[in-house]
Amino acid sequence: RVPMGPLSLLLALSLLFPRGSAGWSCPPRCVCASNLLSCSQANLSAVPATLPRFTAVLDLSHNNVTRLRADWAPARLPHLHALLLSHNGLAFVSTEAFTHVPRLRHLDLSSNRLRTLDENLFSDLGELEVLLLYNNEISTVDRTAFENLGRLRKLYLGQNRIARFPLELLREGTRLPQLALLDLSANRLRAVPAGELQALPAWLRDRLYLHNNPLACDCLLFQLLDRGHRRHLSAVVDFQDELRCFLPGAPASIKILALAGQQPLNCSKAQEAVLEAHLGDSVTLGCDSRWQGVRSRHWVTPSGERVLGDGGNGSVVLLANGSLQLRALRPEDAGTYACSVAGPLLNETLYVELLVHNFTLHGPHDTLNTAYTTLVGCILSVVLVLIYLYLTPCRCCCCRGTEKPPAPRDDSINSSVLSTTPNHAGGTGEPCGSHIASGAGTGQNGRFKGGGTPPLPTRQGPKAQRKVSDPDSVSSVFSDTPIVV
């Protein structure tokens, strides 16, 4: 008999969660496939209220969801890692909208009507890796909008109305430490500080998209992009026609890469040198500017640290002549160093690419010599083994001349199937005569006994009789196969 308590509990659960209710059935006008939930182009004005907890990908694109409130997901969705909300006319996103989706890694808010990125808007998304915000109406970006996004790798802000982006957030390297791509194309940027761009980490500086902006022409910006063009960076090479700027008083824009020698700026191409060193070395990076009467000079290290004219301490020291001295090199010291010089007419930037080999000056050569010696020794060993196997002359079958009587032998187990290989019987033209053990010399299982030597076969003809192999003269299985000459 089943107690009444469990029966009443099951009845209550069936009333609360009928068949096909929340958490178990696919929401209306949506398509569910395993843990994927697609409600795209379903003419929805709000997020479905019944979302399964196991949902991993939620596609709500191409709908009419104009507001994303804090309660759009009343229950926690611990497995959701991709949320697609593009093409919705979305104009408002609550700062608590992502509280219930902490595992989100891909967020698509593109092609909407967002105007501002408020403070701490994405602070609950600590595992977010890709954020798409392009094709909106964003004009204001709060400095704290990207707080706690320690894993963000790609940020797309193209086709908006941004007039100033806080690049200092990137230079500090604490708020977005893993950011590897930043798209600021097709915005309203009129000036970008080239010094701050140069101070960005190399992996981000090489994937910073600035095309289709009304930039003001600047020699530092030209030198930065010219250097990227020579390095075949896709952010520069693929959009070199869209990288344009405006000269003072000019009504039309010109290509930034065409500023070399053009009045009134008369920009010079960036000078770049390559210097190689080893671990523990001390090197001096020269800053040989062509300008006379330099007013100021400073260096920017690959990590973004500025070394000013008052000198430095530790392993980085600015010398009196403007050179930068690096002591006790480490692997992390490798990279591009920029020397910015303020001249009487215009500024100039010189770049030095420092390559630090991951070994000391004397240690690697000994290591390489040892490696080469070992490799040559192995090759010679293989060659000698092959010569021994295939080019060693036959001791008996291929010998010509006067026969010698077989060496005396005593009964032992030296002659075995491993130490002799019987020759096949052949005709008159065989190079070696065949030796077949007679019945008297045959032991158990047809093997040859060690008690005697088989008789030598006689041959007729003018040629001398050839000898058969003496089993006792064979010392290994590799030398018992005769070689026909």
pLDDT digit string, tens, across residues 173-205: 567 888 889 999 999 999 887 767 766 766 677
How many Å apart are CA 265 and CA 219, to the nearest integer? Answer: 7
Beta bridge partners of 277: 356
pLDDT (average), residues 227-235: 84
The owner of tokens 């187990």 is 413
Q: Tell me phi and psi for residue 22, to 5 degrees.
A: -60, 140
User: Is residue 330 very low, low, confident or very high in pLDDT (cuts 50, 70, 90)?
Assistant: confident
How many Å apart are CA 257 and CA 226, to the nearest integer? Answer: 6
How many Å apart are CA 483 and CA 423, to the nearest integer? Answer: 12
pLDDT (average), residues 7-32: 54
pLDDT (average), residues 429-454: 45
The fraction of the chain above a pLDDT of 90, given in percent, is 28
The owner of tokens 């891909």 is 106
User: Is residue 61 very low, low, confident or very high in pLDDT (cuts 50, 70, 90)?
Assistant: very high
The pLDDT, as a whole number, for residue 223 is 83
DSSP code per residue over 126-186: TT--EEE--SS---EE-TTTTTT-TT--EEE--SS--S---THHHHH-SSSTT--EEE--S
The pLDDT, as a whole number, for residue 22 is 41
CA angle 427, 430, 434 (to 5 degrees): 75
H/E segment holding residue 272: strand 271-278
pLDDT digit string, tens, across residues 117-154: 988 899 999 999 999 999 999 999 988 888 889 899 99
Q: Please, are residues 179 and 157 in contact by the beta-carbon 8 Å criterion?
A: no
The pLDDT, as a whole number, for residue 267 is 81
pLDDT at 389 over 70: yes
pLDDT at 411 over 50: no
Structure tokens at 427: 């005709």
The pLDDT, as a whole number, for residue 75 is 84
Q: Enumerate the domain spans of the chain.
A: 275-357
CA angle 232, 235, 237 (to 5 degrees): 45
Q: Tell me what the pLDDT averaged over the chain comes to.
A: 75
Least confident stretch, 35-44, 387-396, 439-448? 439-448
For residue 345, what are the CA distances in angstroms to 24, 87, 287?
A: 73, 50, 18
Least confident stretch, 21-30, 266-275, 441-450? 441-450
Q: Please, are residues 170 and 149 in contact by the beta-carbon 8 Å criterion?
A: no
User: Is residue 362 very low, low, confident or very high in pLDDT (cuts 50, 70, 90)?
Assistant: low
Least confident stretch, 39-43, 281-285, 386-390? 386-390
The pLDDT, as a whole number, for residue 28 is 87
User: Is residue 310 very low, low, confident or very high in pLDDT (cuts 50, 70, 90)?
Assistant: low
> Helices (H) and strands (E) in the chain — how many of each?
7, 24
pLDDT at 163 over 70: yes
User: Is residue 358 very low, low, confident or very high in pLDDT (cuts 50, 70, 90)?
Assistant: confident
Domain 275-357 sits in CATH 2.60.40.10: yes
How many Å apart are CA 314 and CA 325, to the nearest integer? Answer: 10
The pLDDT, as a whole number, for residue 99 is 92
The pLDDT, as a whole number, for residue 176 is 82
Residue 448 carries which side chain, given as an amino acid letter? F
pLDDT digit string, tens, across residues 412-427: 444 443 344 444 444 4
pLDDT at 240 over 50: yes
Name the pTM for this structure.
0.58
